[in-house]
């Protein structure tokens, strides 16, 4: 019998109790993992055990796929019209709203992001995304296409079928909503693997999905490890599409497995090492504030973080001074503290990786301008860190650190900075700060990135597409564009007069 | 006078509190310069329900001013698509909450059965609002490649502005939603003139608009006579668009007034004399059922009514038998009786007009198979009437009757059917029944109508566009196209690299 995780919150941000099912959610039921084992979910503020959740295995994925297929063939897919799919998604958004603070608290508890950010950004964005895709459900039309008078040619936008979705730990609830929104709106049935580090909000969502009336099997949740559950999904012969957000390294494995098995459709949202280019004529104070948000938001655990900050030489000194002051003011501490800006990193693994990048920066001769150490001796807290004096080939300049570590680089020439900005395997995002609109728009055109910000950074809207060039990914999420990821276009040619000889 | 009246509904024991003033800037107010009222009549009993304030030309002007101020300051581009979406969803929820009360009020004033008003009219209304709520944050322009080195060219989908909307008496709540929802979704503000015959539910809906949280001036409701309020809106110099559903005769006047004043955009949903063609391969039982549904629904007070039924010679007798049987089974009576499908027609004037057509049919030599006999007693009840042996030049074949009257004709060949069907100045709906797929395709492509039903009739969906060809109208409602009508495209050419030189 799968258990329930009960947690009593009593802090300055939230008082209340949550009860979360800890089983796997398959075919509308909560069940134990077929291996009988569990996964420990740890509290990132102190490394202690929070909850044990059921561990899914390859066998559980098979069960989930069977349930999803059955739902797709009978009660879901095009058996439920778009207007009804839309109503269900809208109801889900209403349900999330009714548990708003609880969702914020669970995100903060499980991931370490601050309750305030959850309340003001993550959770409302998650709800808005679900409602947004609910609105699309009956509006993603095919086309009728003129050929000649002997033919009626048209396209039907069909859901693909059973889709696998593998989501990361950095914005657990938001990433879940980005994935299920377009997939359910278009009528696909989902087998989802949340991150084993942060499964709690996904478990809450599975219960809500069940309560608002999605048919059994339309959404299935299998918590497990990448090497087992993730791998099984990627190579499953009956899953026709896999969507993944996570590291480029893992994205590669998924695409390989997809290719080797049944050539399933693959969309990937991977890493980034996004450049933030600040020209002499930028509004410096604003650029400082935005640049800080660009790196340190979500503890640097953001795929589109503007982690390489290029500052033009005339304003470099002033920028660095002001930026340092700004970063010093970041309060690191308890996610539930009303004044906290930055909580812990999500896990020991991430903490170790970030500290080792900081080490490599020192070793390779970069200058630690600020920070560089651990905060406290419990949990995974890292000081907001600034490196200067770097060289392009250093690891801290080339590789994604995924922590509160910025690299600030002085530049002079416009063409050269664009070259440096583009000199990366990645292409997720980029930003330009300048009051000269001509220069800003011209630079936008030259940057090889899926999102380019002008005079802002790290702000997204659920109706504007997001995704990477180059090794930052394949496909786009959000906006109308995401619907195509979950659609098989069927072209129909109806002969109404052509005689064959 | 603009106070709340209490309306007692005898059949259900409910008391409805109804504001009777004009709804301007989220308040119910009296007319500024007139004592005129409109008398809302119960067509089942011929008795007055209550009086409501009738807007004068000056009141209309104030409503337009309120709508313009809201468009400039609190609505239009001042509000995000997300917010418009949220408010429309809220309004849908409120209408759903109050569906029974609204249905009873609709039945009292319009006559249609309560269960149909609630489950169909209002059910569709709630879905329509939700449908357009879903569009509100998805209104996209385009970026257009011109020259990437020097220009960013893109379009913005601007809301057109202040919209005058004039809705009819046959589906008061539902057509209110068809008009209001896309306009609000895009960011337009509305001055709504409900029909002088059925102003009551529009006033109740105005209360819900305020409760949902729309800023003052976004929706204004001004019941008035057509030649006062409708004419004023059509001719107003500060109204950017007028949308009208009603007769073709009135539609022409509105378009003229729009042209003479400020060339405002005109959307018209007008009359029809829609053909419904029964081919020999059709499932005759189903075709007969659809034909009856298509003409007698809403007591025939439907712009798309398939009021001309053409039957292929080879199946004529069999079809007529099925048709008559179903027509005869139509329960006509008071809308508060759940067993009834057809209530009374809307008014004395309309009752007389429908009877005028029935009499003309008899005079011009058509044969009556069912009906044609006046009822005695109160209430504007008309029993379904079926004419056969009709000729194309008869009034009952050419003119829109808008009542429970069918004219049935015959044809031999497919070409003849198409010709008969298209031989009308109207082009709103058309139906064909056939199990021959190629025939269905050929004929549906050949019919000159904005909506063609194949093996069905009179079923619409919020996401499929609807409107007329020829003199049945201009523009489309519902679907994405309905939304696009309220959008004015602005193209922006942003030069960031081209230097001008003069002389060239």
Q: What is the pLDDT of residues B302-317, one digit of tens each?
A: 999 999 999 999 999 9
Chain B: residue nearest A436 by CA? B496
Cα dist from B351 to B111, B157, B245, B315, B378, whole Å: 13, 45, 20, 34, 12
Query: Is there a contact between A494 and B441 if contact means CB atoms under 8 Å apart?
Result: yes
Domain assignment present for residue B460? The answer is no
pLDDT attached to residue B504: 79
- What are the pLDDT digits (tens) for A161-209? 999 999 999 999 999 999 999 999 999 999 999 999 999 999 999 999 9
B82 vs A contacts (CB less than 8 Å): 128
Residues of A with CB below 8 A from B461's CB?
A: 83
What separation in angstroms does the CA of A484 have from each of A125, A140, A244, A433, B355? Answer: 21, 9, 15, 32, 55
Tell me the residues of A at the B interface, defined by beta carbons under 8 Å apart.
82-83, 86-87, 90, 128, 131-132, 134-139, 141, 149, 152, 437-438, 441-442, 445, 463, 480, 494, 496-497
Using the beta-carbon criterion (under 8 Å), do B135 and A139 form an inter-chain contact?
Answer: yes
Take residue B471 and report the two structure tokens written for it: 């003199």
The SS3 of residue B130 is helix
Give the largest Cα separation in chain A, rounded: 84
Nearest to B134 by CA among B86, B169, B178, B95: B86
3-state SS record for A163-182: EEEECCCCCHHHHHHHHHHH
Cβ–Cβ of B134/A438 closer than 8 Å?
no
- Taking an 8 Å cut-off on Cβ atoms, the answer to whether A437 and B127 are in contact is no
> What are the CA-CA distances from residue A281 to residues A307, A404, A441, A445, A457 (Å)?
21, 27, 14, 19, 17
Give which of B271, B297, B314 is closest to B417, Cα–Cα: B314
Nearest residue on chain B to A137, alpha-carbon basis: B134
Question: Does B305 share its domain with B431?
Answer: yes
Of A131, A132, A496, the CB nearest to B442: A496
pLDDT at B388 over 90: yes
Which residues numbered 361-380 in B keep a CB inside 8 Å of some CB on A? none
Q: Are the folds of A59-270+474-489 and A275-461 the same?
A: no
Cis peptide before B503 (omega within 30 of 0): yes
Q: Does residue B500 form part of some domain?
A: no
DSSP characters for B451-477? EEEES--S---TTS-B--SGGGEES-B
Closest residue in chain A to residue B153, using alpha carbons only: A441
How far apart are alpha carbons B95 and B93 in whole angstroms? 6
Same domain, B215 and B324: no
Is there a single domain that holds both residue B484 and residue B425? no
Q: How far apart are CA A219 and CA A378, in angstroms?
A: 37
Q: Are residues B68 and B118 in the same domain?
A: yes
A468, A450 in Cβ contact below 8 A?
yes
Beta strands in B26-133 (DSSP E): 27-29, 37-42, 47-53
Beta-carbon separation of B134 and A134 below 8 A = yes
Number of structural domains in chain B: 2
As a whole number, mean pLDDT of residues B267-275 equals 96
Buried b / exposed e along A143-165 (16+ C-beta atoms within 10 A): eeeeeeeebbeeeebbbbbbbbb
- The residues facing B308 across adjacent strands are B275, B407
Are A265 and A255 in contact by the 8 Å Cβ rule? The answer is no
Q: For residue B1, is pLDDT > 70?
A: no
Whole domain around residue B442: which residue ranges? 275-454
Is the Cβ pair A139, B480 closer than 8 Å?
A: yes
Q: Read off the DSSP letter of residue B482.
A: H
Please indicate if any CB of chain A lies within 8 Å of the CB of B442. yes
**What is A59-270+474-489's CATH number?**
3.40.605.10
- pLDDT at position A500 is 86
Q: Give me the pLDDT at residue B2, please.
A: 66
Q: Does B497 touch chain A (CB under 8 A)?
A: yes
> A interface mutation test: which of B91, B147, B452, B496 has the most A CBs within 10 A?
B496
Instruction: Characterize the bridge pairing of strands A451-454 and A429-433.
Output: parallel
Record the tokens describing residue B229, joined without a space: 């309020």
What pLDDT score was predicted for residue B449? 97
* Residues of B annotated catalytic, as ranges: 269
Phi, psi angle pair for B234, to nearest 5°: -65, -30
**Could you tell me if B477 and B466 are in contact, meaning their C-beta atoms sit under 8 angstroms apart?**
yes
Report the CATH number that the domain containing residue B160 is assigned in CATH. 3.40.605.10
CB contact under 8 Å between A83 and B463, yes or no, is yes
Count A/B contacts: CB-CB distance under 8 Å. 62
B225 shares its domain with B144: yes
Residue A27 in this model has a pLDDT that exceeds 70: yes
Q: In this complex, do B138 and A441 lie within 8 Å of one another by their Cβ atoms? A: no
Chain A CB contacts of B445 under 8 Å are 149, 152
- What distance in Å separates the CA atoms of residue A222 and residue A225, rounded to the nearest whole number? 10
Cross-strand bridge partners of residue B342: B332
Q: How many CB atoms lie within 10 A of CB B352?
A: 11
Q: What is the pLDDT of residues A326-359, one digit of tens each?
A: 999 999 999 999 999 999 999 999 999 999 999 9
Q: Which sequence spans correspond to the domains of chain A?
A: 59-270+474-489, 275-461
Question: Check: CATH 2.60.40.10 for A275-461?
Answer: no
Task: Say yes or no to pLDDT of A18 above 80.
Answer: yes
Query: Which residue from B81, B127, B134 is facing A136, i.e. has the nearest CB?
Result: B134
A160, two tokens: 């693909």
Distance CA B118, CA B130 (A): 17
Residue-averaged pLDDT of chain A: 96
Which residues on chain B are in Cβ contact (under 8 Å) with A141? Answer: 480
Alpha-carbon dihedral sign for residues B221, B224, B228, B231: positive
d(CA A225, CA A193): 8
ipTM: 0.81
Chain A CB contacts of B133 under 8 Å are 135
Mean pLDDT of A222-231: 98
> Which residue in this structure is represented by tokens 């007798």?
B317
- State the Cα–Cα distance between residues A190 and A239, nearest whole angstrom: 9
Look at residue B173 and tell me if it is in a domain. Answer: yes
Closest CA to A215 of A322, A77, A381, A363: A77
Supply the pLDDT for residue A212. 98
- Is residue B331 within 8 Å of B338, Cβ to Cβ? no
Would you say A136 and B138 are in contact if contact means Cβ atoms under 8 Å apart? Answer: yes
User: Residue range A26-39: average pLDDT?
Assistant: 97
The pLDDT score that the predictor gives to residue B147 is: 86
- Please give the Cα distance from B155 to B79 (Å, whole number): 19
* B474 and B352 in a common domain: no
Are B472 and B416 members of one domain? no
Rounded to whole angstroms, the Cα distance separating B405 from A192 reads 57
The pair of three-digit structure tokens given for residue B404, joined into one six-digit string: 């429970």
Rounded distance between C-alpha atoms, residue B139 and residue B182, angstroms: 11
Quick check: B463 and A441 CB within 8 A?
no
Residue A385: φ, ψ to 5°: -125, 140
Residue B454 confidence (pLDDT): 97
Mean pLDDT over residues B220-234, rounded? 97
Helix (H) or strand (E) holding B489: strand B487-495
Q: Do B130 and A86 touch (CB under 8 A)?
A: yes
Question: Is B8:B17 a contact under the CB 8 Å cutoff?
Answer: no
Q: Is the pLDDT of residue A149 over 90?
A: no
The whole-number average pLDDT for the span B12-21 is: 96
Residues in chain A with CB shorter than 8 Å from the CB of B137 are 132, 135, 463
**Tokens standing for residue A48:** 């202690």
Count CA atoms within 13 Å of residue A147 on its CB side: 16
Span A91-116, average pLDDT = 98
B139 chain-A contacts, CB cut-off 8 A: none
Closest CA to A204 of A215, A219, A189: A219
pLDDT value of residue B502? 87
The DSSP secondary structure of B144-172, one letter per residue, reads: E-S-TTTEEEEEEEEE--EEEEE--SSSH
Q: Find chain B residues with C-beta within 8 A of A435's C-beta.
A: none
First to last CA, chain B: 68
Contacts of B205 (CB under 8 A, 6+ apart): B95, B102, B173, B176, B221
Question: Can you tell me the distance from the alpha carbon of B15 to that of B13, in angstroms, rounded to the nearest whole number?
Answer: 7
Q: Which residue of A has its CA nearest to B446?
A: A149
Q: Check B131 against A138: CB less than 8 A apart.
A: yes
What average pLDDT score do residues A414-421 get?
Answer: 97
pLDDT tens profile B423-472: 999 999 999 999 999 999 999 999 999 999 999 999 999 999 999 999 99
Q: What is the pLDDT of residue A318?
A: 98
Structure tokens at B69: 């101020």
pLDDT tens, position by position, B124-150: 999 999 999 999 999 999 989 888 888
pLDDT on residue B496: 86
Angle at A334 between CA A328 and CA A340, to 5 degrees: 40
Q: Are residues B322 and B221 in the same domain?
A: no
Q: Is the dihedral of CA A333, A334, A335, A336 positive or negative?
A: negative
Contact A139 B140 (CB under 8 A): no
Residue B423: C-alpha distances to residues A165, A363, A372, B276, B454 (Å): 56, 88, 84, 13, 19
Question: How far apart are alpha carbons B432 and B275 in whole angstroms?
Answer: 8
- Asked if residue B95 belongs to a domain, the reply is yes
CATH of the domain at B407: 3.40.309.10
pLDDT average, residue stretch A362-372: 97
Is B292 found in the same domain as B245?
no
Are the beta carbons of B89 and A90 separated by less than 8 Å? yes
Chain B hits for A442, Cβ within 8 Å? 149, 496-497
Among all residues of chain B, which has the CA nearest to that of A437? B496
Residues of A designated as active site: 269
β-bridge mates for residue A191, sequence order:
A164, A220
Q: What whole-number distance in Å separates Cα of residue A180 and Cα of residue A81? A: 17
Q: Are residues B94 and B146 in the same domain?
A: yes
Q: In the prediction, which pLDDT does B149 show?
A: 84
Contacts of B361 (CB under 8 A, 6+ apart): B368, B387, B390, B394, B395, B396, B405, B407
Query: Is the domain of B90 the same as that of B110?
Result: yes
For residues B280 and B388, state if they share a domain: yes
Residues within 8 A of A (CB atoms), B 54-83 only: 81-82
């Amino acid at each position: 019998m799968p258990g329930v995780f009960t947690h009593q919150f009593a802090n300055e941000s939230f008082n209340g109790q949550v009860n979360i099912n800890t089983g796997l959610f398959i075919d509308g039921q909560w069940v134990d993992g077929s291996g009988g084992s569990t996964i420990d979910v740890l509290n990132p503020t102190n490394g202690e055990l929070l909850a044990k959740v059921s561990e899914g295995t390859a066998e559980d994925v098979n069960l989930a796929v069977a349930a999803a297929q059955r739902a797709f063939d009978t009660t879901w897919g095009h058996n439920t019209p778009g207007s009804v799919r839309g109503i269900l998604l809208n109801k889900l958004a209403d349900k999330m709203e009714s548990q708003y603070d609880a969702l914020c608290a669970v995100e903060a508890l499980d991931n370490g992001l601050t309750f305030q950010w959850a309340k003001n950004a993550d959770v409302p964005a998650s709800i808005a995304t679900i409602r947004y895709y609910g609105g699309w459900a009956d509006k993603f039309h095919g086309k009728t296409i003129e050929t000649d008078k002997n033919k009626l040619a048209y396209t039907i936008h069909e859901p693909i079928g059973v889709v696998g979705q593998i989501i990361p730990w950095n914005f657990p609830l938001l990433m879940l909503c980005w994935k299920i929104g377009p997939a359910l709106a278009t009528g696909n049935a989902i087998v989802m693997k949340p991150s084993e580090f942060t499964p709690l909000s996904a478990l809450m969502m599975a219960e809500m999905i069940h309560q608002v009336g999605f048919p059994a099997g339309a959404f299935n949740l299998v918590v497990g490890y990448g090497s087992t559950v993730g791998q099984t999904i990627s190579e499953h012969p009956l899953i026709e599409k896999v969507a993944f957000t996570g590291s480029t390294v893992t994205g590669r494995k998924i695409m390989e497995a997809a290719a080797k098995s049944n050539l399933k459709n693959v969309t990937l949202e991977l890493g980034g090492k996004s450049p933030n280019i600040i020209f002499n004529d930028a509004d410096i104070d604003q650029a400082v504030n935005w640049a800080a948000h660009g790196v340190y938001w979500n503890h640097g655990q953001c795929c589109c973080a503007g982690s390489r900050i290029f500052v033009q030489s005339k304003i470099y000194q002033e920028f660095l001074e002001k930026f340092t002051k700004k970063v010093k003011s970041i309060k690191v501490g308890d996610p539930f503290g009303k004044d906290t800006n930055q909580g812990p990193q999500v896990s020991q693994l991430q903490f170790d990786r970030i500290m080792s990048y900081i080490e490599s920066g020192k070793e390779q001769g970069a200058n630690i301008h600020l920070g560089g150490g651990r905060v406290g001796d419990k949990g995974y807290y890292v000081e907001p860190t600034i490196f200067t004096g770097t060289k392009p080939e250093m690891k801290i300049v080339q590789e994604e650190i995924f922590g509160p570590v910025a690299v600030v680089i002085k530049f002079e020439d416009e063409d050269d900075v664009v070259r440096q900005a583009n000199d990366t395997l990645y292409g997720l995002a980029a930003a330009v700060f300048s009051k000269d609109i001509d220069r800003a728009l011209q630079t936008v055109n030259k940057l090889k990135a899926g999102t380019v910000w002008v005079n802002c950074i790290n702000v997204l809207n659920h109706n504007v597409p997001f995704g990477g060039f180059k090794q930052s990914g394949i496909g786009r999420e959000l906006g109308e564009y995401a619907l195509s990821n979950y659609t098989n276009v069927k072209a129909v040619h109806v002969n109404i007069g052509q005689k064959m000889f | 006078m603009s106070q709340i009246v209490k309306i007692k509904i005898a059949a259900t024991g409910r008391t409805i509190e109804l504001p009777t003033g004009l709804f301007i800037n989220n308040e119910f107010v009296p007319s500024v310069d007139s004592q005129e009222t409109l008398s809302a009549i119960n067509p089942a009993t011929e008795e007055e329900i209550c009086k409501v304030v009738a807007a004068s030309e000056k009141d209309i002007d104030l409503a337009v001013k309120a709508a313009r101020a809201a468009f400039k300051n609190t609505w239009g581009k001042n509000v995000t698509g997300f917010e418009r979406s949220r408010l429309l969803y809220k309004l849908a929820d409120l209408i759903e909450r109050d569906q029974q009360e609204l249905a009873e009020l609709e039945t009292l004033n319009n006559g249609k059965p309560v269960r149909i008003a609630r489950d169909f009219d209002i059910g569709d209304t709630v879905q329509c609002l939700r449908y357009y709520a879903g569009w509100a944050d998805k209104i996209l322009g385009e970026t257009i490649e011109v020259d990437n080195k020097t220009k960013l060219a893109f379009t913005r989908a601007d809301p057109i502005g202040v919209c005058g909307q004039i809705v009819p008496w046959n589906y008061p709540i539902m057509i209110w939603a068809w008009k209001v929802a896309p306009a609000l979704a895009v960011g337009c503000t509305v001055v709504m003139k409900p029909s002088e015959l059925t102003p009551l539910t529009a006033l109740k809906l105005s209360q819900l608009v305020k409760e949902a949280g729309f800023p003052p001036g976004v929706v204004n409701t001004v019941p008035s006579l057509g030649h006062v309020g409708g004419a004023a809106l059509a001719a107003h110099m500060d109204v950017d668009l007028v949308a009208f559903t009603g007769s073709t005769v009135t539609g022409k006047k509105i378009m003229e007034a729009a042209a003479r004043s400020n060339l405002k955009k005109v959307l018209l949903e007008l009359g029809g004399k829609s053909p419904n063609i029964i081919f020999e391969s059709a499932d005759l039982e189903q075709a007969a059922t659809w034909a009856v549904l298509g003409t007698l629904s809403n007591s025939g007070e439907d712009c798309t009514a398939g009021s001309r039924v053409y039957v292929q010679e080879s199946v004529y007798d069999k079809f007529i038998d099925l048709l008559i049987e179903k027509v005869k089974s139509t329960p006509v009576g008071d809308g508060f009786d759940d067993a009834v499908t057809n209530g009374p027609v809307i008014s004395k004037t309309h009752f007389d007009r429908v009877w005028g057509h029935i009499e003309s049919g008899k005079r011009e030599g058509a044969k009556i198979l069912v009906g044609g006999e006046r009822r005695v007693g109160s209430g504007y009840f008309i029993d379904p009437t079926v004419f056969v042996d009709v000729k194309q030049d008869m009034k009952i074949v050419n003119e829109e009757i808008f009542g429970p009257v069918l004219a049935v004709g015959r044809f031999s060949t497919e070409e003849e059917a198409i010709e008969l069907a298209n031989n009308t100045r109207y082009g709103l709906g058309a139906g064909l029944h056939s199990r021959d797929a190629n025939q269905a395709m050929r004929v549906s492509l050949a019919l000159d109508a904005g909506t063609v039903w194949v093996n069905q009739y009179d079923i619409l969906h919020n996401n499929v566009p609807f409107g007329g060809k020829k003199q049945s109208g201009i523009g489309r409602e519902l679907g994405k196209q309905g939304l696009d009508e309220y959008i004015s495209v602005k193209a922006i050419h942003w030069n960031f690299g081209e230097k001008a030189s003069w002389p060239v």
